[in-house]
Amino acid sequence: MIVEEFERTRRMLLLIKQQERLLEKNPVLSRSIRLRNPYVDAMSLIQVELLRRKQAADSSGDLNYAMGATINGIAAGLHNTG
């Protein structure tokens, strides 16, 4: 359902913007996102695993530190591109 909604929204945005692909008219932002995604995606996967561990009642200082590091890393990677 989420994927379908995303695709529908993407199609409508492209139609409204009269573009073939997202950010077609903003190559600097497009390149920035393309370059940062592999790093942010990896940190997001690590964060998911850490959240699973935290849910399993692990509240060690090391886990909390690692969670903070992923939050800061993802925020830094996204900057103003969201």
The Cα–Cα gap between 27 and 41 comes to 21
Q: How confident is the model at residue 13, as a pLDDT?
A: 96
Q: How confident is the model at residue 82, as a pLDDT?
A: 61
The Cα–Cα gap between 2 and 12 comes to 15
Cα dihedral sign, 2-78-59-62:
positive
Tokens of 34: 């393309």
Helix (H) or strand (E) holding 36: helix 27-55
DSSP structure class, residue 82: -
**Is 30:23 a contact under the CB 8 Å cutoff?**
yes
pLDDT tens digits in sequence order for the chain, 82 residues long? 999 999 999 999 999 999 999 999 999 989 988 999 999 999 999 999 999 998 888 778 889 999 999 999 999 988 866 6
Q: How confident is the model at residue 3, as a pLDDT?
A: 96
